[in-house]
Structure 1
Amino acid sequence: MRIPRIYHPEPIVPGHELALCEDAANHVGRVLRMGPGQALHLFDGSNQVFDAEITHADKKSVRVTVLKGEVADRESPLHLHLGQVMSRGEKMEFTIQKSIELGVNTITPLFSERCGVKLDAERLNKKIQQWQKIAIAACEQCGRNRVPEIRPAMDLEAWCAEQDEGLKLNLHPRAAHSINTLPLPVERVRLLIGPEGGLSADEIAMTARYHFTDILLGPRVLRTETTALTAITALQVRFGDLG
């Protein structure tokens, strides 16, 4: 049986006993139905993985003893910041989950002219918290020991205007460049993915003012969630650790 990987939001110290957070305890104790003596792998975002053993488990709490830890670096050499115009329902959750499996380091949800998501501040904050939990679960599944940040949602132009030393890319169906024609080497990329209806002409012109390079993925029109994952995969193959 594969040993479950569990995220702990505080620094982990070998030789100490600790209580798992509520979400983790519920997963270990109630979903997996694990008990004393069984093994877990813990990580705390420090790029280490820790061997641990359950010492107590019931429906409300789980305590473990941390046995040892070691660095387990599974991060790509390419630093990817995804700016994703928010999509409806499960599409955004899917994009977050899969992009993290593919190695994205930071995700910023964006509002644009054609963004189909309309949320008040309270509901949006809850969404951000939910998406961060999805990011943690994706790391637990794929083996990453650093948890990417889901940043607060912001306006498209404000995100484009942020200072960034990396290559800035915007997907455009009539672009002259492809990912394979981008010059090597590249260590940082800020990738913009628009909504289902695409960016408006004014928004595309705005990205050019902030020195974004338009790139083309291929001859077919892709849905926004497909576009994000295709672009991330192509970037990791060319500049990162896939392939």
Structure 2
Amino acid sequence: MRIPRIYHPEPVTVGQQLTLSEDAAGHVGRVLRMGPGQEIQLFDGSNQVFNAHITHADKKRVQVQVVSGDVDDRESPLHIHLGQVMSRGEKMEFTIQKSIELGVNIITPLFSERCGVKLDAERLEKKRQQWQKIAIAACEQCGRNRIPEIRPAMQLAQWCAEEAPGLKLNLHPRASQSINTLPLPVEQVRLLIGPEGGLTAEEIAMTTEYRFTDILLGPRVLRTETTALTALTALQVRFGDLG
């Protein structure tokens, strides 16, 4: 069996004996049914990986001994902040999971005029916590050792108005530029992905006011979750670490 990678929410040090979080203990003890003597890998978001072995395990509590650690940098040189207008149900979860596998650093869920998600503040915060857990699980799976941030949801206009370095991109079906025609080098990107129905004319005009560059992905109309992944892949090929 492949050695499981487990996120630990507190700083880890070599030689430490620690108790896994409740979620991690459930996965290791109940799902994987691992026991004393078996090995796991830990990461704490510091870009390090730690080798550990289990010293105690039951269905509720797992303790491990940390035996070694080293820096393992798998982050792309391209920093991407994804502004994603929220989609319903599993589509948003899918976008978050796959975006993190593709190297996105920050995700901000957005409301726009055509956004189909209507949630109050309490339910939004529960959603954010759920999405952050999806982000952690994606890092455990893909090998990233830094946890991307899922920010609280905000209005599109508020997000566009934020001061941000680097390139600002908005996908537009009538744009004259593509990702491949953008000039090198680029180290930071703020990428806006609209809802299924697209941004309104007023919203597109607003992005122009905030100096977003309109780009075209291709001749076909993509669903919002496909658009995010296609754009992120193209950006990583052009400016990042895919190729």
Tell me the TM-score range normalised by the shorter chain.
over 0.9
2:191 alignment partner in structure 1: 191
Which residue does 1:111 correspond to in 2? 111
Looking at structure 2, the residues matched to 64 and 32 of structure 1 have their Cα atoms a distance apart, in angstroms, of 15
Distance in 1 separating the partners of 2:57 and 2:169: 48
Residue 192 of structure 1 deviates from its aligned partner by 0.1
Query: How far apart are 1:182 and its partner, in Å?
Result: 0.1
Q: CA deviation at 1:97?
A: 0.1
TM-score w.r.t. length of structure 1:
1.00
SS in 1 for 2:191: strand
SS at match of 1:92: helix
* Mapping of residues 166-177 of structure 1, within 5 Å: 166-177=166-177
What TM-score do you get using the length of structure 2 for normalisation? 1.00
Amino acid across the alignment from 1:26: G
Displacement of 1:175 in angstroms is: 0.4
Shift of 1:172: 0.4
* 1:102 lines up with 2:126 in the alignment: no
Counterpart amino acid of residue 58 in structure 1: D
Shift of 1:79: 0.2
Q: Structure 2 counterpart of 1:114, which letter? A: R
- What is the correspondence of 1:23-102 to structure 2 with a 5 Å cutoff? 23-102=23-102
2: CA distance, partners of 1:48 / 1:14: 11
Whether 2:146 is the aligned partner of 1:146: answer yes
Quote the Cα distance in structure 2 between the aligned partners of 1:166 and 1:25: 40
Partner of 1:16: 16
2 CA distance for matches of 1:227 and 1:63?
A: 42
Q: For residue 177 of structure 1, give the secondary structure of its aligned residue in structure 2.
A: coil
Task: Specify the alignment match of 2:160 in structure 1.
Answer: 160
Q: Which residue identity does 1:45 align to in structure 2?
A: G
2:202 aligns with 202
Question: Counterpart of 2:119 in structure 1: which amino acid?
Answer: L
| Structure 2 gap segments, 5+ residues each | none
Q: Does 1:217 align with 2:199?
A: no
Query: Shift of residue 13 of structure 1?
Result: 0.8
Alpha-carbon offset, residue 166 of structure 1:
1.0
C-alpha distance in 2 between matches for 1:60 and 1:98: 30
Structure 2 distance, partners of 1:190, 1:122, is 27
Distance 1:86 1:175 in 2: 23
How far is 1:146 from its partner?
0.1
Deviates more, 1:182-191 or 1:157-166: 157-166
- 1:73 aligned counterpart, secondary structure: coil
- Amino acid in structure 2 at the alignment position of 1:46: S
Identity among equivalent positions (%) equals 84
Q: 1:114-125 counterparts in 2 under 5 A?
A: 114-125=114-125
Number of paired residues? 243
> Could you give the per-residue CA deviations for residues 93-131 of structure 1, whole angstroms, max 9, x where no partner exists?
000000000000000000000000000111111000000
Q: Deviations over 1:162-194 (max 9, x none)?
A: 011110000000001000000000000000000
Query: Which residue type is aligned with residue 199 of structure 2?
Result: L
Q: C-alpha offsets along residues 181-208 of structure 1, whole Å, 9 cap, x if unaligned?
A: 0000000000000000000000000000
